[in-house]
C-alpha cells in the first residue's frame, strides 16, 4: 500500500456490542493485508439507530456490520438491498457506495462456505436437511440451503408458529418440536440453529442414535466449539462441522466491500477468535 491510500473506517453497531468478535476479525485482516484503516465497535440503542448511522456516515465510515438487535431494522435504513438481505429480511452488512447505503446479508454465505470448506465432498444438491430452530440464524441457514439446491428442508422449532412463518417455499416442511427425534432418520444434514448447547444454556436433547451414519452434523453455536451435539455425533461416527467458520466466513464479503480485498480464513485467525470465544457476533 502507498502512503496516499485513504484511511478506511468501518464498525459493528449493536446494543450491547462489547462482546462482538467482529473488531478482532476485521482488525486482524487490516493488519494481515497491511491496509490503512480501523474497525470499531459502537453501541447505539435502537431508537437512535437512524441518527447514529447518519452521523457516522458524515464522519466518513465506509460501512457497518449490524448485530443484535439491529439486523431487521437496518433493512429500512438502506437505499438498496442485495438479494440475500431481501430474502432473509435482515441486514448484517452495510456498504456506503457513492453516498448510497447498500444493505447486504452475508450470513447464508458464511454458513454454506463453512461447510464447503470443512467438508468439500458434501453434496447439497438433492439432499434433505433437518433444521432445528427458527430464529434469525435459521433464516440465513434456510436461504443458503435453498440456494444450494437441497431437495427438502425439515424445519422444527419449539414455537411452531415461528417455523411456519419461514415456510415460504414448498421444499420446507414444518413439524412439531416433540417429533424431532423421530424425523432424524430422514436427514442427510442436521443443523442446530438454536441457542441450546451454548455455554450457560441447556443442552440440546436429541436421540442422535436415530440419525443415519451418512448425515453431516453442524452447529451454529461455537462457544463451546465442540458442543455436546457435535461430540455425540463424532462419537457415533457422523461427520461434523463446527460453528466458528460461519462467524469467520460471513465477515469476508463485508471486508471485501469496504477494504477491496477478499480475506482468507486462516488457522491463526481461528485461534485468535477461539482464544476469546463468546456467543455474540
Ligand atoms: P438467533 O438470531 O441466533 O437465531 P433467536 O432469534 O433468539 O437467535 O433464536 C433462538 C432460537 O433458539 C429459537 O429458535 C428458539 O426457539 P423459540 O422460537 O421457541 O424461542 C430456540 N431456543 C432457545 N431456547 C430454547 C429452548 N430452551 N428449547 C428449544 N428451543 C430454544
Report pLDDT digits (tens) over 42-97.
999 999 999 999 999 999 999 999 999 999 999 999 999 999 999 999 999 999 99
8-105 and 109-244, same CATH topology? yes
Could you tell me if the CB of 168 is within 6 A of ligand 1? no
Domain extents in the chain: 8-105, 109-244
Q: Give percent of the chain above pLDDT 90.
A: 95
Question: Which residues on adjacent β-strands are paired with residue 104?
Answer: 93
Indicate whether 39 pLDDT > 90: yes
Mutational test site, ligand 1, from 66, 90, 107, 158, max ligand atoms within 8 Å of CB: 158
In whole angstroms, what is the distance from residue 279 CA to residue 195 CA?
A: 9
Q: Cα 184 from chain centroid?
A: 24
3-state class of 254 per DSSP?
A: helix
In whole angstroms, what is the distance from residue 251 CA to residue 92 CA?
A: 9
Res 81: pLDDT: 98
CA of residue 27 to ligand 1 center, whole Å: 31
- What tens digit of pLDDT does each residue of 112-153 get? 999 999 999 999 999 999 999 999 999 999 999 999 999 999
Indicate the fold that domain 8-105 takes in CATH.
Rossmann fold (3.40.50)
Q: Which three cell numbers stand for residue 171?
A: 421444499
Q: In CATH, what class is 109-244?
A: alpha beta
Sorting pLDDT into bands at 50, 70 and 90, what band is 5? confident
In whole angstroms, what is the distance from residue 123 CA to residue 150 CA?
A: 9
Least Cα distance to 127 among 144, 107, 106 occurs for 144
DSSP letter assigned to residue 223: S
Residue found under cell 430452530 = 133
- Using CA of residue 32, residue 96, residue 17, residue 110, what is the dihedral sign? negative
Res 4: pLDDT: 58
DSSP letters along 165-211, please? TT--STTEEEEEGGGTTGGGGG-SEEEE-SSTTSTTSPPP---GGGS
Indicate whether 2 pLDDT > 50: no
- Using CA of residue 47, residue 48, residue 49, residue 50, what is the dihedral sign? positive
- What tens digit of pLDDT does each residue of 226-267 get? 999 999 999 999 999 999 999 999 999 999 999 999 999 999
Sorting pLDDT into bands at 50, 70 and 90, what band is 278? low
> Has 71 been annotated as catalytic?
yes
CA–CA distances in Å: residue 91 to residues 78, 101, 116, 174, 281: 9, 11, 23, 25, 14
CA of residue 155 to ligand 1 center, whole Å: 13
Could you tell me if the CB of 137 is within 6 A of ligand 1? yes
Atom of ligand 1 at shortest distance to CA of 158? 19
Question: Which residue minimizes the CA distance to atom 6 of ligand 1?
Answer: 135
The one catalytic residue among 21, 71, 152, 232: 71
Q: Give the residue-averaged pLDDT of 208-212.
A: 98
What is the phi-psi region of residue 175: left when phi exceeds 0, alpha when psi lies from -120 to 50, beta otherwise?
beta
CA of residue 61 to ligand 1 center, whole Å: 33
Could you tell me if the CB of 192 is within 6 A of ligand 1? no
CA of residue 109 to ligand 1 center, whole Å: 21
Q: Give the residue-averaged pLDDT of 261-281.
A: 83
User: 216 and 184 in contact (C-beta within 8 Å)?
Assistant: no
CA of residue 33 to ligand 1 center, whole Å: 37
CA–CA distances in Å: residue 42 to residues 18, 53, 96, 209, 264: 8, 10, 17, 45, 25
Could you tell me if the CB of 162 is within 6 A of ligand 1? yes
What is the pLDDT of the chain when averaged over all its residues? 95
Q: Which three cell numbers stand for residue 111?
A: 454458513
Could you tell me if the CB of 281 is within 6 A of ligand 1? no
Q: With 0-12 CB in 10 A as exposed, 13-18 as middle and 19+ as buried, what is 267? A: exposed
Amino acid at each position: 500500500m502507498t502512503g496516499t491510500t485513504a484511511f478506511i473506517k468501518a464498525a459493528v453497531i449493536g446494543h450491547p456490542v462489547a462482546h462482538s468478535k467482529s473488531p478482532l476479525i476485521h482488525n486482524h485482516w487490516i493488519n494481515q493485508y497491511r491496509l490503512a484503516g480501523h474497525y470499531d465497535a459502537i453501541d447505539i440503542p435502537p431508537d437512535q439507530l437512524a441518527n447514529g448511522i447518519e452521523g457516522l456516515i458524515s464522519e466518513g465510515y465506509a460501512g457497518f456490520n449490524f448485530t443484535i438487535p439491529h439486523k431487521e431494522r437496518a433493512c429500512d435504513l438502506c437505499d438498496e438491498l442485495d438479494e440475500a438481505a431481501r430474502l432473509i429480511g435482515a441486514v448484517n452488512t452495510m456498504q456506503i457506495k457513492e453516498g448510497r447505503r447498500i444493505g447486504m446479508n452475508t450470513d447464508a454465505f458464511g454458513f454454506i462456505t463453512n461447510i464447503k470448506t470443512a467438508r468439500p465432498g458434501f453434496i447439497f444438491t438433492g439432499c434433505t436437511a433437518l433444521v432445528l430452530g427458527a430464529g434469525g440464524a435459521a433464516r440465513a441457514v434456510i436461504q443458503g440451503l435453498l440456494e444450494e439446491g437441497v431437495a427438502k428442508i425439515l424445519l422444527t422449532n419449539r414455537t411452531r408458529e415461528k417455523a411456519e412463518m419461514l415456510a415460504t417455499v414448498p421444499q420446507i416442511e414444518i413439524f412439531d418440536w416433540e417429533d424431532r427425534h423421530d424425523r432424524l432418520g430422514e436427514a442427510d444434514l442436521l443443523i442446530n440453529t438454536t441457542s441450546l448447547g451454548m455455554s450457560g444454556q441447556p443442552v440440546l436433547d436429541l436421540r442422535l442414535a436415530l440419525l443415519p451414519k451418512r448425515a453431516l452434523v453442524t452447529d451454529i453455536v461455537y462457544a463451546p466449539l465442540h458442543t455436546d451435539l457435535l461430540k455425540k455425533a463424532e462419537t457415533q461416527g457422523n461427520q461434523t462441522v463446527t460453528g466458528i467458520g460461519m462467524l469467520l466466513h460471513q465477515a469476508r464479503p463485508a471486508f471485501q466491500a469496504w477494504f477491496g480485498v477478499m480475506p482468507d480464513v486462516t488457522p491463526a485467525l481461528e485461534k485468535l477468535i477461539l482464544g476469546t470465544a463468546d456467543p455474540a457476533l
